[in-house]
Amino acid sequence: MAISACLNKCIPWVLDTTSSEDGAKGFVPIQVENDAQKVIRENMVVALRDITDGKIFLEAERARLTRALAILKEEDGDIPGAADTLQEVHVETYGSLSKREKVEFILEQMRLTLGKKDYIRAAIVGNKINKKALAEEGMEDHKIKYYTLMAEYHRHAKELSSSRRIIMRFI
């Protein structure tokens, strides 16, 4: 209980815990004014993630902190680092997260792996999404995002296939 209370006290120092207009809650890093504050915020997120490591009762908080760390890395232009950070968490096994939050997390993993141009992993991550969950009421925006990301993946697969056919003609 002490760890949980400490975490609940510290999370608002680094994450915006209010809901935004798109429903995002709890994983958006707070805005900072200078580079020194930026470094402190990132170090605090990493420290809080370390505290939550391996604690089942804090798995939702760890997932949110991990997503925030990925956002920070992406803001710094480190897309591969952000993708690798999100890949550490297997959110689909977390019982404490809502179905919507799990789908959002997996879609973010998929988006970053496609941004990293890791198409094989993107396909694997895309298969983790339950199509029944996407068909539920209120999940229309996630369904659109999922099929947009899958279209991007399939576009790459088609380009790769056509390139192979061209190469085979010359062999």
pLDDT tens digits, residue range 18-58?
A: 754 445 556 788 788 888 888 888 899 899 889 888 888 88
Model pLDDT, residue 22: 47
Three-state DSSP at 15 gives strand
Q: Quick one: pLDDT band at residue 167, thresholds 50, 70, 90?
A: low
Tens digit of pLDDT for each residue in 52-83?
888 888 888 888 898 889 999 998 888 999 89
Answer yes or no: is pLDDT of 113 > 90. Answer: yes
Spatial neighbors of 85 by CB under 8 A, at least 6 apart, are 66, 69, 70, 73
Residue 108: exposed, middle, or buried by beta-carbon count in 10 A (0-12, 13-18, 19+)? buried
3-state secondary structure of 29: strand
Contact yes or no for 32/41 (Cβ under 8 A): yes
With cut-offs at 50, 70 and 90, classify the pLDDT of residue 155.
confident
Give the pLDDT of residue 110: 93
What are the φ/ψ torsions at residue 118 (nearest 5 degrees)? Answer: -100, 80
Contact of 114 with 149, CB cutoff 8 Å: yes
With a cut of 80, say whether residue 92 has pLDDT above it: no
Predicted confidence band of residue 169 (pLDDT cuts 50, 70, 90): low
Is 138's pLDDT higher than 70?
Answer: yes
Q: Which residues contact 113 (CB under 8 A, 6 or more apart)?
A: 83, 87, 119, 121, 122, 125
- Distances from the Cα of 112 to the Cαs of 3, 52, 54, 83, 153, in angstroms? 31, 23, 24, 5, 12
Mean pLDDT score, 134-157: 89
